[in-house]
Structure 1
Amino acid sequence: MKKILFVLTSNDKMGDTGHKTGFWIEEFTAPYYHLKNLGFDITLATPKGGQPPIDPNSESKDASTATTERFDKDKETQKVLANTHKLSEVSMADYDAVFYPGGHGLLWDLVEDKNSIKLIEDFYSAGKPVAFVCHSPAVLKNVKGTDGTALVHGKNVTGFTNGEEAAVELSKVVPFLLEDMLKQNGGNYSKTGDWKPYAVEDGLLITGQNPASSEKVAAKLAEKLNSLAS
């Protein structure tokens, strides 16, 4: 059975605004259930371990989806989520791929987290897929390839757009705009219409634009793992 490590934020504060944040629940539930249904074994990790903060906005009625509703009734997965491993205690060698759900929270912890940066570099250099959705491509900001340049340099990538950030009125709150950072780091950034599903695969690197892209990223990750196994 192929094993996938999910890495989530431990940060529940949006800078010094006083607003709560965390990870976006749909970006966890959609890939989690998609990959579970295909028979993958999933382990969850966070910088601090234990229960990661769920962005309150992602639990609103407007943000509800079939997979978030499934999660609301799923005591077993709720328990797994409440007991995540500490990121410093997980090893790339134990997994076949890594996936990062998004949400604004990670902009203030995982982006600069040395364990996270090393983990992604280790997965990639070992020929294992690395996948990100919505805001989580932000964690690639400080990740380097084996040649010492930014991992995204020269690669096809996507992520939360400047237009989507403006629509949620957080352009002035976030530490940096994800679309701009990916371009500045040399990524071949592309996007579709705001809030539409869109995912890009470039070798071992898989990125998705927004919450609606979560399942697309999971499907591409599953296909990549299956193709590497065959």
Structure 2
Amino acid sequence: MTKGKVLVIGSNATRIEVKGGGWAATGQYLNETVVPAMAVIDAGYEVVLATPDGTRPTIDPASESADHFDGDADAYARARAFWAEHPAMSEIRTLRSVIEEGLEHYAGVFVPGGQAPVVDLMQDAELGRILRHFHDAAKPTALLCHGPVAVVSAMPHAREFRAALIAGDGEKAREWARGWQYEGYRMTVFSASEEKVVEDHILHAQLHFDMPSALTAAGGSVAATDVDFQPHIVIDRELITGQNPRSDHPIAKAFVEALDRSTTAA
């Protein structure tokens, strides 16, 4: 017996639009995916990984490094083995099948980062339905790094909102965001200055919008650390957000604590 099931939402995106036309390769980050998942399993919960099309997420090669595990080669090896071998990371569900099974069977939901969620998850209608359920039920909802931008999917016009951001029309984006469930929530996300490091050294291109601007336009109250790439999480009601890859362990701890409080109260 486990304490309950926890839904982990993965992305199927492998490329992201960049300014000037064209695309850059992307995916989701290894540490951001497995560190919280391993913590949840160690705490006694069952993890169910689901993606929009039911196929395995692509791990961004930029995250395939012990650097994202504080230089600990053993921790990196354990993470790679967990991703490669653990059934929870290979038995992938579709978002639709999870919805049809019944979201009431899940104790909480987690969305890791990497830039991939910016492409598909932030405008996915089925994820929007999932997030609205957890919001309405006040169940723990955790998102890390670029993952917090996925909460945009809960708004009635997520696709139009994202299109307005790409077009650089902030006023139109704010209009499309009306009625958003997370308006006024305090949250954090990968900062604009952190994004510039990725644009300059990994993507070698510029994105159409940064994550804090997107969530601010949606109606969120966004805060980031003064120093880039320092661990930082924000908790507001059921929503738990982490700023960057180094926030993996802090958000895992906060998420498990919220799950335990929620399941005990139930």
TM-score normalized by structure 2?
Answer: 0.79
The alignment yields a C-alpha RMSD, in angstroms, of 2.1
1:158 and 2:158 equivalent?
no
Q: Distance in 1 between matches of 2:207 and 2:133?
A: 28
2:214 aligned residue: 181
The alpha carbon displacement at 1:172 in A equals 5.8
1:49 aligned residue: 54
Deviates more, 1:94-103 or 1:63-72: 63-72
Deviations 1:81-110 (A, max 9, x none): 233111111031220100001111111111
Structure 2 counterpart of 1:151, one-letter code = Q
Change (3 A) 1:114 1:2: same
Change (3 A) 1:53 1:42: same
Q: Give ranges in structure 2 of 5+ residues lacking alignment.
A: 157-177
The alpha carbon displacement at 1:40 in A equals 1.4
1:110 aligned residue: 121
Q: Distance in 1 between matches of 2:81 and 2:239?
A: 33
Name which of 13, 16, 19 aligns with 1:14.
16
Change (3 A) 1:155 1:171: farther
TM-score normalized by structure 1?
Answer: 0.90
Q: Distance in 1 between matches of 2:216 and 2:105?
A: 32
Structure 1 counterpart of 2:253, one-letter code = A
The alpha carbon displacement at 1:44 in A equals 0.4
On the 8 A contact 1:58/1:64 being kept in 2, the answer is no
Q: Distance in 2 between matches of 1:3 and 1:68?
A: 26
The alpha carbon displacement at 1:18 in A equals 4.7
Q: Distance in 2 between matches of 1:206 and 1:143?
A: 16
1:34 and 2:39 equivalent?
yes
Please list, as runs of the form range in 1=range in 2, the aligned pairs for 1:165-204 lying within 5 A after superposition.
165-169=195-199, 173-192=206-225, 193-204=227-238
On the 8 A contact 1:165/1:171 being kept in 2, the answer is no
On the 8 A contact 1:57/1:63 being kept in 2, the answer is no
Structure ranking higher in helix proportion: 2
Name which of 120, 123, 130 aligns with 1:119.
130
Deviates more, 1:13-22 or 1:212-221: 13-22
Bigger Rg, which one: 2
Q: How many residues align?
A: 227
Structure 1 counterpart of 2:221, one-letter code = N
Deviates more, 1:54-63 or 1:169-178: 169-178
Structure 2 counterpart of 1:37, one-letter code = D
Q: Give ranges in structure 1 of 5+ residues lacking alignment.
A: none
The alpha carbon displacement at 1:154 in A equals 1.3
Structure 2 counterpart of 1:158, one-letter code = T
